[in-house]
Amino acid sequence: MVAKAVPAHHKHEKSKPRVHAQSREHAPAIAPELPELDRLIHERIRLGIVSALATNDSLSFNDLKRVLKTTDGNLSVHARKLEEAQYISCVKFFEGRVPRTEYRLTATGRRALAQYLDQMEHWIRLTRES
C-alpha cells in the first residue's frame, strides 16, 4: 500500500465551507414552517367527498360516484375512512325495493374541512408573498 502525499497546509485543516461576501447577500431567507394538513382530508377523493357534502344537505352513493368520477370500490373505501373518523354519516335504506346509501357531512367533518381550508389558504398566501 502506498501512502498518498498530502501538502502540509492540508493535514490538520478542518474543512469549512467557503462563503463569499457576495453569496451572503443573496442567501435565501429561512422558509416559514407550514401548517400540518389533515392527511385524512388531503387525499383527492376524500377532499372531494367532504367538499361535495359541504355544499349539499346529503348525497347518495351514486351521486358522489358521478360527481367524483370514481369507481364503486374506490368511493366505498374512502367514504368508510371518513365515516370511521366521524367526518361523514352514512344511512342505508330502501326506496321501494332499491337499496340506497346516503351520506351527510357531520359537524366534526365540517370543522375539519374548515380547518383544512384555512391551512391551505395560509399556504397559498405564503406562496404568493414569496
Cell output for 54: 359541504
Over the chain, what is the mean pLDDT? 83
Question: What is the pLDDT at residue 37?
Answer: 84
For 55-100, the pLDDT digits (tens) are: 999 999 999 999 999 999 999 999 999 999 999 999 999 999 999 9
Cell output for 39: 392527511
**Which of 67, 64, 84, 91 is CA-nearest to residue 75?**
64
Mean pLDDT of 33-51: 89
Question: What is the pLDDT at residue 13?
Answer: 46
For 1-23, the pLDDT digits (tens) are: 545 554 554 444 444 445 445 54
- Look at residue 48 and tell me whether its pLDDT is greater than 80: yes
For 100-121, the pLDDT digits (tens) are: 999 999 999 999 999 999 999 9
- Is pTM, for the whole model, over 0.75? no
Residue type, 104: R
Rounded CA-CA distance 130/128 in Å is: 6
The helix or strand, by DSSP H or E, that contains position 42, with its residue range, turns out to be helix 39-42
Cell output for 122: 395560509
Rounded CA-CA distance 79/64 in Å is: 10
